[in-house]
Amino acid sequence: MSRSRRPTKMKVEFGVIVRDKRIGPLLPLVNNWRKAMERYSALHEDSSDAGYFYNERPNISFLAAGAWMAGWGALEEYVSEKFRAGAKGSGRTDLYLVNTDGHAVIEAKHVWMTSKASGGGLRNTVKRSIKRAVADARAIRNVDAKFGCVFFVPYFSIKKHSRDLKNYNDAIRSYIERCTSVPGVDMWAWSFPKPNRRQEAGKDNKNYYPGVLIGFKGVKYWG
């Protein structure tokens, strides 16, 4: 008589969920983004700093690092033409990527989010922020591919999670599962490096900031 297997728990440290296979060419970028995040955390042995624990701009720099580590080229925050409502203007594009498949752009947003977020509130936050990133990516022309992405950085109560690491890890896993269940996102990737489980916010001593979750949505795909 065969025994049924227990469902495998989602890994907290790092993971990728692809909802649309057309975004697959970004996987080398994401896998190396993870390595860059973990390397930065490892260099701060006292867990005093984390690459994701800032706003949009530094998080973009880690995607750029992932691109270079994958053998691609990358350019951050450069002036480019933008087209909105049929009108041509200028602005800054967050990230330009180039590899043997061609060139692409990524427009990004950054969102601080309570780990308690759930239900309609969480869905609305994810969808609204993804929509804003996609709208920015859509305004760019003359590229082979373009994507919007959002960095979601959750915070967890120190008072609630300072003593029981297992329950804390379960709470992180639950947050990841709730976010990645929101429809309309092509790919999710996350990094919660072990050295940063107790990452605090300096003057803000009420919360931990253990990692980051990225949602990607394509506007135009490679291939």
What string of DSSP letters covers 29-77? HHHHHHHHHHHHHHH-TT----TTSS-HHHHHHHHHHHHHHTT-EEEEE
Which residues share a beta bridge with 155?
114
Asked whether residue 81 carries a pLDDT value surpassing 70, the answer given is: no
pLDDT in tens, 15-49: 999 999 999 999 999 999 999 999 998 888 776 68
187 vs 12: which has the higher pLDDT: 187
Average pLDDT, the chain: 89
Question: What is the per-residue DSSP string for 120-166?
Answer: HHHHHHHHHHHHHHHHHHHT--S-SEEEEEEEEEEEEEHHHHSS-HH
Give the confidence band of 138 by pLDDT, cuts at 50, 70, 90: very high
- Give me the mean pLDDT over the 75-102 stretch: 81
Element of type H or E holding 172: helix 165-180
Asked whether residue 117 carries a pLDDT value surpassing 80, the answer given is: yes
Give the confidence band of 216 by pLDDT, cuts at 50, 70, 90: very high
pLDDT at 89: 59
pLDDT in tens, 187-209: 999 999 888 877 776 566 788 88
Tell me how far apart the alpha carbons of residues 110 and 184 are, in angstroms, rounded to a whole number: 18
pLDDT at 43: 87
Which residue, 116, 110, 109, is CA-closest to 207?
A: 116
Asked whether residue 139 carries a pLDDT value surpassing 80, the answer given is: yes
- Give me the mean pLDDT over the 104-116 stretch: 95
Give the confidence band of 223 by pLDDT, cuts at 50, 70, 90: confident
